[in-house]
Amino acid sequence: MMAELIVQLANRSYPIYIEAGLLLNSNPLIRHIKNKKVCIVSNDVVAPLYIDKIKHSLAGFDVDVIIIKDGEAQKNLANFELIMSHLLANKHGRDTTLIALGGGVIGDITGFAAACYQRGVDFIQIPTTVLSQVDSSVGGKTAVNHPLGKNMIGAFYQPKAVIIDIDSLNTLPVREFNAGVSEVIKYGILGDIEFFDWLEQNKEAIKEQNPSILQQMIQRCCQAKADIVSEDERESGVRALLNLGHTFGHAIEAQMGYGVWLHGEAVATGMVQASRLAANLGYLTANDVDRIISLISYFDLPVEAPKEMTFEHFIEHMSRDKKNIDGNIRLIIPTAIGKTQIFDNISFEQLKLVI
């Protein structure tokens, strides 16, 4: 059965629909399009698989398509300009709707384009990867990358709806699937020990992509994200906790080159570094750290930083992190499995022990 969650944001509230086979059901999509003009943004891997299904659902609409290359390296200002130019050339107005069909890269760049085009047009998220389904499609963070930092150019801009078809994961490469599970594990570590326990108990079924288990997993993550976003839309408080592992992880992505390490792989290593730091500070027990590493490792995710990266490389990138205040590096650190806090007083000596 289709699950429907609501991100509560007053007059900007929107639904998240979750079900296997949902792309064959046109109702959740067309009910959130206010005019006949639509532009689908996708990439050259996802589009051949699903674009025809979306077009079929939009029979009778004026639909055009933008297809960019696949990969994190494509989330850049050049492709943002490509989208802007296409919308202008094809006479899209303020009443048009953009549809992001793909993973986190497509969702982020399409959302940013929607926020900027004619000062804001509607957009709908149709995420097709684990990472985008459980995290990036929900919450309105949109952005492109810059060579000096990830997601440094962007806006908070909420979609009109998020439509999650679990069946789209059937075509996802194993490496991409596992990288997305990193963000799933994050939810358990940062605020829900019962969910972390559930993940340990159901890890085999998750790896085998059992549809029922996947729907439960995605629904729990989306509900957790929706609750946090409803409380703190613009990351002035509790929403910052969702960045667990990301300060370390973004440094890895920026230094190694976007796409060399997948985002979820970098975050997995970042969560291990944050956990080891928490143990050194007297919060996590050795057993807690072992449990975290064991669950991350089960999904073939890295738990050690790239050998090519020095301490200085990490600090260079971490010092530019968006969460930093007054020049202090702010880190999200687990104080127990299921609890996290923001720290901005970690010394370089303490960081050296885990990097």
Mean pLDDT of 157-172: 97
pLDDT at 1: 85
User: Does the annotation count 94 as an active-site position?
Assistant: no
Instruction: Say yes or no to pLDDT of 78 above 90.
Output: yes
User: Does the annotation count 160 as an active-site position?
Assistant: no
C-alpha span between 340 and 287 (Å, rounded):
17
pLDDT at 320: 86
pLDDT digits (tens, 9 = 90+) for 301-350: 999 999 999 999 999 999 988 777 777 899 999 999 999 999 998 999 99
Instruction: Say yes or no to pLDDT of 279 above 90.
Output: yes
- Residue 122 contacts residue 145 (beta carbons within 8 Å): no
C-alpha span between 260 and 329 (Å, rounded):
25
Domain boundaries, the chain: 3-170, 174-352
- Residue 206 contacts residue 214 (beta carbons within 8 Å): yes
What average pLDDT is seen over the chain?
A: 96
Instruction: Say yes or no to pLDDT of 262 above 90.
Output: yes
Alpha helices in 192-310 (DSSP H): 193-201, 203-207, 211-231, 246-256, 263-280, 286-298
Kindly list the distances between the CA atom of residue 171 and the CA atoms of 90, 166, 241, 303, in Å, as whole numbers in the listed order: 31, 10, 31, 26
User: Does the annotation count 322 as an active-site position?
Assistant: no
pLDDT at 236: 86
User: Does the annotation count 119 as an active-site position?
Assistant: yes
CATH number of 3-170: 3.40.50.1970
User: Does the annotation count 141 as an active-site position?
Assistant: yes
User: Does the annotation count 246 as an active-site position?
Assistant: yes
pLDDT at 294: 98
Q: How many CB atoms lie within 10 A of CB 182?
A: 28
Confidence tier at 109 by pLDDT (50, 70, 90): very high
pLDDT at 327: 72
pLDDT digits (tens, 9 = 90+) for 192-229: 999 999 999 999 999 999 999 999 999 999 999 999 99
How would you class 112 by CB atoms within 10 Å of its CB: exposed for 0-12, middle for 13-18, buried for 19 or more? Answer: buried
Is the pTM of the predicted complex or chain greater than 0.85? yes
User: Does the annotation count 37 as an active-site position?
Assistant: no
Q: Name the active-site residue from 225, 276, 291, 330.
A: 225
- Residue 26 contacts residue 60 (beta carbons within 8 Å): no
- Residue 96 phi, psi (nearest 5): -75, 165
Give the residue among 76, 69, 67 at the shortest CA–CA distance from 100. 67
What secondary structure letter does DSSP report for 39?
Answer: E
User: Does the annotation count 263 as an active-site position?
Assistant: yes
Q: Name the active-site residue from 37, 75, 92, 141.
A: 141
Residue with tokens 């290359």: 69
For residue 273, what are its two tokens? 């570094």
Residue with tokens 């940013």: 112
- The CATH architecture one would assign to domain 174-352 is Up-down Bundle (1.20)
Q: Name the active-site residue from 183, 233, 253, 265.
A: 183
pLDDT at 149: 87
